[in-house]
Amino acid sequence: MRLHDTWRKDIVEIVPATPGVLRIYACGPTVYRDAHVGNMRTFLLTDLIRRTAQWSGMQVRLVQNITDVGHMADDTGLGGAGLGGIDEGQGDTEDRVLRQAAVEGRGALDIARHYEAAFHRDLAALNIHPADDYPRASEWIDAMVRLIERLMTTGHAYVGTDGSVFFDARSYAGYGELSGNRLDDLRPGHRFEGSTDPAKRFHADWALWKHAGPTRTQLVWDTPWGRGFPGWHTECSAMSLELLGDSIDVHTGGIDLRFPHHEDERAQSNCATDREVVRHWVHAEHLLFEGRKMSKSAGNVVLVADMAGRGLDPLSLRLAFLQHRYRQQMNLTWQVLQAAHDTLQRWRGRVADWANEPSAAASGPHVEQVAAHFADDLDTPRAIQVLRELERDTTVAAGSKFETFAMLDRLLGLDLARDVGRVARPVDVPAEVRDLVDRRAQARADKDWKASDALRDQISARGYAVIDTPDGQQVGPA
């Protein structure tokens, strides 16, 4: 499999450090609100990498964090653009989870668990397979403290005046390689968390651990440096190193996490281990909705739940994403979603029809082409194009089309065989047709396939369709 590596600025062959096992770390949600469709595009990227790796026979070990503490409103340094391009407005320095807890009048962890559950529901609706681990930042504080201690002993971190701990950006020569932001070019006024501490040695140093002021009573922990909470970047370094080790094959996230989140994470992890921890950084591009960046203030934030409200299958969102490559900026519209919904319904209907035709092996060339496009830096638009061509191809037997679509759904995740066996709704079937169905059951029990097919023709001549399911025949209007 080849993927675009942000650090190398090139498409590279992904060769896992351990042959046959792909270790992936995916930046997960900050659980203070529902994930929007832009977030889902990023989460889907990880799922596609995983499915492609599994298709080629690799095992995948996937860890995705749940940020339930420490993600401040201005942590991106860019005015608060979170995962996937949402603009939250110029942020303050409040913890997002605590701010939402105050808004909703609930406890911080109450809020966090509520939105974490919503996140899992959204993933399931989009057929995104669950990760092996979903570490919650609030439950890995010890690992973060150990990481910070290691960075202090190796001279990459120092304590400020109030008990915050800072990473010394200038202590890492590789800083800026991921994002192209060189330390010399960063504006001194550039907003970084913890920037008010007078003990901070350099404007681009960032807080690994943040001192908690007297008003903060939730999500605080005691450490050798005082009472506080972890920085968002610290969390991902600590949890990825603990759960995946010091060689991570692929690290994914939205493109707006490249700086400062991933740049800082790379500096921390590499300095703590004295090696290049992440072998490949892979980023999903921005998503626009109806031509605009989604934002709370513009009121155009779209959630997975909004799909159902419009009568759209949530998986039409998945198909719409597949029709665009992950690293192209994409403009999603209701029209695109409706078209994807229509395609999905049509494909499922066809697959159910083809399932009734004589069985045939999958079309090898089509399977290979689609798999090759997935492996070629997730060229999903071309993979979808191959499926459209196969749908129309009159030289391929219907039974073969069924097998091909069903097999490739392991990569696509579109539930294409969902309607197979569902043709029959309970309906009044005339006695004459019922009789043919019974005779066909007997013919099949006798393994007389010729008689079985002839009876099906007679049934179909009377305007009915019969299909074979694990529970026996089902019959309904054709």
Residues of this chain that bind Zn ion (CB under 5 A): 27, 236
The smaller minimum CB distance to Zn ion, of residues 236 and 352, is found at 236
CB of 273 to Zn ion, least distance (A): 17
The smaller minimum CB distance to Zn ion, of residues 35 and 370, is found at 35
The smaller minimum CB distance to Zn ion, of residues 76 and 343, is found at 76
The smaller minimum CB distance to Zn ion, of residues 16 and 260, is found at 260
C-alpha of 268 from chain center: 24
Q: What does the alpha-carbon distance between residue 103 and residue 13 come to, in Å, rounded to a whole number? A: 47
The smaller minimum CB distance to Zn ion, of residues 36 and 401, is found at 36
CB of 244 to Zn ion, least distance (A): 13
CB of 304 to Zn ion, least distance (A): 21
Q: What does the alpha-carbon distance between residue 394 and residue 207 come to, in Å, rounded to a whole number? A: 63
Sign of CA dihedral 451, 454, 458, 459: positive
The smaller minimum CB distance to Zn ion, of residues 42 and 316, is found at 42
CB of 123 to Zn ion, least distance (A): 17
CB of 68 to Zn ion, least distance (A): 13
CB of 370 to Zn ion, least distance (A): 31
Q: What does the alpha-carbon distance between residue 18 and residue 201 come to, in Å, rounded to a whole number? A: 40
